[in-house]
Each structure stands twice: as structure tokens, then as C-alpha cells.
């Protein structure tokens, strides 16, 4: 592990390049990006890694990954839960936040590159994905978490998942606006979703234990832009000490002594979104100790035992690092996505 970065300007010149190249070197020949060599792939993490490639300037590899999404999209507009070695590994369900995330990845690529023809190329895939997701919107505005391929719609909702979808809808609407497409239906659906996220906690976690012990339920409504300004700051401050372990990062779960790099990166971006740059920079500076010489990052760290766990360096963690670093340094025009 390496020493913490003490100040933002101390980023070495090769910081972005090495981490983006780690993702590129893990990418399969068909364009898919598994978590690690010979590992699984899920659509959300694949797209997170694609955004990392884009930030690093690996545009052709990123486009190859988007082409993989187009080729593997189901007839109903979705992607299934997991893939491996070019085949479906888990075809039991299509998760709505996974499916919607393509809009975030596509819009991010356009922000970075200014490539409008790319938006045209991806429009049909994005449109079909968003239409699939909104078919699973409930009467209160919530979006159910998945379509089970045998049992049908699963009528419960995740706060983190719905917050991610809210951000993806913002990106989908931006794509549509750029291409002069009518997205009024999507805008109305997003407004309804925002209201249920911010004001109706009873719509979530109805059939399983509450997820409020998970860090993402704490900060994702802020990261996605549902909760803003003073209310956002109050939300972050209220549970800061439950989740943030000084010198290490953000716990994945409040009652477990395990910090994860990806959750810390997402908290960094949430802080950046509300102008809390001092804490965002401090948190990000702690993560360099989990960086390896090839630019990869370990998933997490169990601090009482001083153990890296699991012993994996996922591509999606590398993607999260690049998104957070870009948000803080404005290296690319895509940095505005979480600023």
C-alpha cells in the first residue's frame, strides 16, 4: 500500500493513466469488463468501469464496452444480473438500477468527448432501457427493484437503487434534449420518483430488513441530487460519525469495521456535489494507501484486524476512483456530473 495523498495537487502525472490502463488491461476481447480477470460482470459495474476508461482517455476501449451493452441488451430493453466469459451467469432477474445506468455512462462519455454522433448511436439502447425501467414504476412514483424472469415484478424498492435511477433519468433526459427528442414522460416520472425518495420512506424496504445501516442509503439521495443544499448537509452531518472512520474511509455498513474504497469515492462525490470540498479532499487523500503499483485499488479494509478484504482489486473500484478524482480536479468536462 502507498502513502496517503496529502494535497490534491500532489496527484502524479500518471495517476489517471495507470488506473484507466488497469481497467483497459482487464477488458475482455468482446468489450465486456469483468470485475477482475476471469471474474463476473454485472451491467452497473461494467458501466462504472467504462466511465473510468473515458476519464483516462481510453475512448476506443470505452466504445467497445458500450457496443457490448448494445449486443447483449434483451428484447425488453434490460440486461440480466450477471455475465461471465461472454455468457449469462445469472439470468434470474433484471435489476432496474443496473438497466438505467446506461444513460449515465452514455451521457458521461458525451460530456467528456463532445461526441454527438455517439449519442445518436446509443439513443435506441438508452431509450429502450429507460422505457423498461419506467414500466416498473409504482403508483407512488417508486421504482421496483427488479423483474424476476420467472416470478415477474418484485414489488419492493431500494432507496439507493431508486436514487441511482433518479440520476440516470437526469442523464437520459439530457441525452434526449441534446438530440431534440421528446422526454416529457421521463421528466414526469423523474419528478414523481424524486418526491417519493425525499418524502416517503415507507415506500422502501417493505419486505426485507431496513437498509439504513448501509452507507449508500445515507448519501445516495445527496449524490443523485434528490436532496440538496442545507438539507443535504444536515443529512450528511447527522450520520457522519457512524460511517466515517478517520484515516481509512467510509464503512460499507455502519455496524461493521470494514471500509470500502468505492463507497468512500461515492461519498467524496456526494460531498463535492454540496460544496463540501474540504472533507471530500480529506477522504479521498486516505485512499492512496489502498493503491497498487499498477493503478488498481483493493476493495476494502477491515481495520481492527488490519486486513485487506476481500483480496480483490475490481475494475469498478478503479472506475469509482477515477470518477471521484475527476470530480475533485475537473480533469475532464465529465467532472460536472458529480459537482
Tell me: the pLDDT tens digits for 227-248?
999 999 999 999 999 999 999 9
290-299 average pLDDT score: 98
pLDDT at 235: 99
Phi, psi of 293 (to 5 degrees): -65, -20
What nine digits make up the cell of 259? 471500509
What pLDDT score does 11 carry? 78
> What is the tens place of the pLDDT at every residue in 94-140?
999 999 999 999 999 999 999 999 999 999 999 999 999 999 999 99
pLDDT band (50, 70, 90) for residue 176: very high
Q: Which three cell numbers stand for residue 145?
A: 427493484
Q: Which three cell numbers stand for residue 202?
A: 415507507
- Burial of 290-304, coded b for 16+ CB within 10 Å and e otherwise, reads bbeeebbbbbbbeee
| Percent of the chain clearing pLDDT 70 (strictly above) | 97
The pLDDT of residue 13 is above 80: no
Residue 2 in this model has a pLDDT that exceeds 90: no
* 326 SS3 class: helix
Q: What is the pLDDT of residues 156-165, one digit of tens each?
A: 999 999 999 9
CA dihedral in degrees (319, 320, 324, 325; nearest 10)?
-40
Q: Is the pLDDT of residue 3 over 60?
A: no
As a whole number of Å, the end-to-end CA separation of the chain is 29
Please report the DSSP string for 199-237 in residue order. Answer: H-GGGSSSSS---TTBHHHHHHHHHTTSS-HHHHHHHHH
Distance CA 337, CA 339 (A): 6
Query: How is the chain split into domains, by residue range?
Result: 9-338
The pLDDT of residue 86 is above 50: yes
DSSP assignment of 229-281 equals HHHHHHHHHHHHHHHEETTTEEESBTTSSEEEHHHHHHHHHHHHHTT-HHHHH
pLDDT score for 173: 99
3-state secondary structure of 73: coil
Residue 214: pLDDT band with limits 50, 70, 90: very high
Predicted confidence (pLDDT) at residue 1 exceeds the cutoff of 80: no
Confidence of residue 12 (pLDDT cuts 50, 70, 90): confident
For residue 90, give the H/E element and its range: strand 87-90
Over residues 62-77, the pLDDT tens digits come to: 999 999 999 999 999 9
Give 34-47 pLDDT, tens digit per residue.
999 999 999 999 99
Q: Is 153 helix (H, G, I), strand (E, B) or coil?
A: strand
- Decide if pLDDT at 325 tops 70: yes
Residue 7: the pLDDT is 47
The CATH number of the structural domain formed by 9-338 is: 1.50.10.20
Span 207-232, mean pLDDT?
A: 98
- Using CB atoms within 10 Å of the CB of residue 238, give its burial: 0 to 12 exposed, 13 to 18 middle, 19+ buried: exposed
The mean per-residue pLDDT over the stretch 198-203 comes to 98
- Cα separation of 185 and 250, whole Å? 37
Sign of CA dihedral 206, 127, 53, 272: negative
pLDDT score of 339: 87
- Identify the three-state secondary structure at position 101: helix
Amino acid at each position: 500500500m502507498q502513502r496517503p495523498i496529502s494535497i490534491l495537487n500532489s496527484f502524479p502525472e500518471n495517476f489517471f493513466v495507470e488506473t484507466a490502463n488497469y481497467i483497459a488491461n482487464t477488458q475482455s476481447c468482446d468489450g465486456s469488463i469483468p470485475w477482475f480477470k476471469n471474474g463476473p460482470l454485472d451491467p452497473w459495474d461494467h458501466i462504472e468501469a467504462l466511465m473510468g476508461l473515458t476519464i483516462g482517455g481510453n475512448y476506443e476501449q470505452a466504445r467497445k464496452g458500450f457496443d457490448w451493452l448494445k449486443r447483449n441488451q434483451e428484447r425488453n430493453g434490460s440486461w440480466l444480473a450477471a455475465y461471465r466469459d461472454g455468457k449469462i451467469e445469472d439470468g434470474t432477474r433484471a435489476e432496474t438500477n443496473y438497466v438505467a445506468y446506461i444513460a449515465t455512462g452514455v451521457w458521461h462519455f458525451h460530456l467528456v468527448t463532445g461526441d454527438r454522433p455517439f449519442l445518436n448511436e446509443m439513443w435506441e439502447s438508452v431509450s429502450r432501457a429507460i422505457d423498461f425501467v419506467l414500466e416498473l414504476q409504482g403508483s407512488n412514483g417508486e421504482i421496483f427493484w427488479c423483474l424476476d424472469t420467472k416470478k415477474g415484478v418484485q414489488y419492493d424498492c431500494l432507496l439507493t437503487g431508486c436514487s441511482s435511477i433518479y440520476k440516470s433519468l437526469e442523464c437520459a433526459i439530457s441525452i434526449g434534449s441534446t438530440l431534440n427528442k421528446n422526454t416529457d414522460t421521463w421528466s414526469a416520472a423523474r419528478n414523481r420518483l424524486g418526491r417519493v425518495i425525499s418524502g416517503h420512506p415507507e415506500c422502501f424496504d417493505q419486505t426485507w430488513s431496513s437498509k439504513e445501516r448501509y452507507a449508500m442509503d445515507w448519501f445516495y439521495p445527496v449524490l443523485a441530487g434528490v436532496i440538496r443544499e442545507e438539507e443535504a448537509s444536515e443529512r450528511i452531518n447527522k450520520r457522519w460519525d457512524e460511517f466515517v472512520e478517520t484515516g481509512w474511509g467510509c464503512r460499507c455498513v455502519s455496524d461493521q469495521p470494514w471500509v470500502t474504497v468505492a463507497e468512500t469515492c461515492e461519498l467524496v462525490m456526494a460531498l463535492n456535489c454540496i460544496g463540501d470540498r474540504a472533507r471530500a479532499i480529506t477522504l479521498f487523500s486516505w485512499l492512496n494507501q489502498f493503491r497498487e503499483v499498477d493503478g488498481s485499488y483493493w476493495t476494502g479494509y477491515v481495520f481492527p484486524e488490519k486486513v485487506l478484504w476481500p483480496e480483490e482489486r475490481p475494475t469498478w473500484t478503479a472506475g469509482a476512483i477515477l470518477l471521484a478524482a475527476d470530480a475533485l480536479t475537473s480533469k475532464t468536462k465529465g467532472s460536472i456530473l458529480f459537482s
